[in-house]
Amino acid sequence: MLTLLEPAGGNPRTATLFEYDLDYAFEKKVEPVSLRFPVTADMQKLAQWPAFVFDLIPQGSGRAYLLGQLQLADGPAADFPLMCAGAFNPIGCVRVAEAVQYYEQHLARHETDTPMHGLSLEDIIGRGEAFHERMLVHSMLAAGSLGVQGAAPKYLLTTDHEGMWHADGALADERAAAHFIVKRARGKTPSDDKVLRNEAAYMRVASAMGLRTAGELRYQEDTLFIPRFDRIVRDGKVLRLHQESAASLAGIVGFEASPSQFELLQALRAVVSDKTTETVEFLKRDILNLAMRNTDNHARNTAVQKIGANVRLTPLFDFAPMYLDPAGIARAARWYHPVSKKELHAWPAILAAMDIADVERNHIQVELYRFGQRLVELERRMLQAGVDDDIVAFLRPHIAMQIEQLSALGEH
């Protein structure tokens, strides 16, 4: 239960009451709604909204649609009502009860006597009449695009055991075979298409370089199919995994913050099961972001998942040549020194500034040095994966800079 004490203004830096249901709190096996809020029987008075709610607030095209439905002007004051209407089926395993009720009322308004059959792959790719009609009936709600944050049009779709496609949430769990995010370009320019077309190749490169990835992305006729990793289908049941952004773990409220990578890493290390392994994975991802110019590294593009008792970084997602984006996306999360607040660029200096024991620092240093030696393969890996030739040519100096910096770790 979340109670805003000053709901009308929409200012997230106002007092809030947060508590778990008492019956739930005393059950034997319970999961928290956020790893920052372990399950307890106590009511907590918070100085600001809990950061996890910002993982649930619709963004992008889903936000625009819902603003129209609710007849709200955009802005911070819309955030809470948007969550209460849109967070019925977001990524992860948290649902907002009011949003589920809103969704059920929405479906009731669009009931038809015609049974909803699955869509073919051609319907999805071709945006045929059946697809548009289904999205109209479900008004993007059943497609779950409200649960996927970001500017690009995205749909959450599920395949059944016959290979037909359904809006996620419109298909019963026992009929679900696999879950996907279906993504289209952010805009209508050739650069937008180029970014989306290369995202699948970028993920193949990340996998080849040893980063944690999940499934094979598939690009087909200006549509990208991304297997979801917050769901596991097993024995006719769908297991929904806890997923939470680095922004939530770091207690960041709102969407405009530009946090330090040191802050995000510290927040991740506070909850993951294996601090050293996840720190190395986090750093390798940032090295590839810099080498391959994925500039869209905001704090919600990094997340953790919980599988059983194990908490770790999710597989990599939203990894693409975002330097090409016409909007000119700059890196949001940077290595600002914890004391001086000046941005650090060299990996030896970044490692030296980390608040960790020297034994762990030395281990991480060796791992990054070895990763730097593997970066000499990066251009070949990109060409093999199908990254566009002109992107590979543009990245050469950026790759060389990372190799040079990481080589210096072997001298310390």
Residue 151 in this model has a pLDDT that exceeds 70: no
Report which DSSP code applies to 301. S
Could you give all domains of the chain from N- to C-terminal order, each with its CATH number? 244-411 (1.10.1070.20)
What is the enclosing helix (H) or strand (E) of 351? helix 347-353
Is 274 in a helix, a strand, or coil?
coil
Residue 152 in this model has a pLDDT that exceeds 80: no
Residue 143: predicted pLDDT: 52
Packed helices 261-269 and 275-291: angle between N→C axes, nearest 10 degrees:
150
Predicted confidence band of residue 268 (pLDDT cuts 50, 70, 90): very high
Of the candidates 323, 290, 297, which has an alpha carbon nearest to the alpha carbon of residue 398? 290
The pTM for the full model equals 0.93
**How many C-beta atoms lie closer than 10 Å to residue 243's C-beta?**
21
| The dihedral sign for the CA sequence 395, 401, 405, 411 | positive
Predicted confidence band of residue 327 (pLDDT cuts 50, 70, 90): confident
Predicted confidence band of residue 221 (pLDDT cuts 50, 70, 90): confident
Predicted confidence band of residue 149 (pLDDT cuts 50, 70, 90): low
% residues pLDDT > 70 (the chain): 92
Residue 126: predicted pLDDT: 80
Gyration radius (Cα) of the chain, Å: 22
Predicted confidence band of residue 141 (pLDDT cuts 50, 70, 90): low
Q: What is the pLDDT of residues 356-403, one digit of tens each?
A: 999 999 999 999 999 999 999 999 999 999 999 999 999 999 999 999
Is 252:51 a contact under the CB 8 Å cutoff? yes
Residue 150: predicted pLDDT: 64
What is the enclosing helix (H) or strand (E) of 218? strand 218-220
Phi, psi of 60 (to 5 degrees): 65, -140
% residues pLDDT > 90 (the chain): 72
AA letter at 204: R
Residue 410: predicted pLDDT: 87
Residue 145 in this model has a pLDDT that exceeds 60: no
Residue 123 in this model has a pLDDT that exceeds 60: yes
Q: What is the pLDDT of residues 222-259, one digit of tens each?
A: 899 999 999 999 998 999 999 999 999 999 998 877 89
| Alpha helix segments (H runs only) across 51-114 | 60-70, 79-86, 97-109
Residue 10: predicted pLDDT: 80
Residue 146: predicted pLDDT: 58
Question: Which of the two residues, 264 and 118, has the higher pLDDT score?
Answer: 264
From CA 27, how far away is CA 29, in angstroms rounded?
Answer: 6
Q: What is the pLDDT of residues 166-216, one digit of tens each?
A: 888 888 999 999 999 998 888 788 999 999 999 999 999 999 999 999 999
Residue 140: predicted pLDDT: 57
Mean pLDDT, residues 298-306 taken together: 95
From CA 50, how far away is CA 252, in angstroms rounded?
Answer: 9
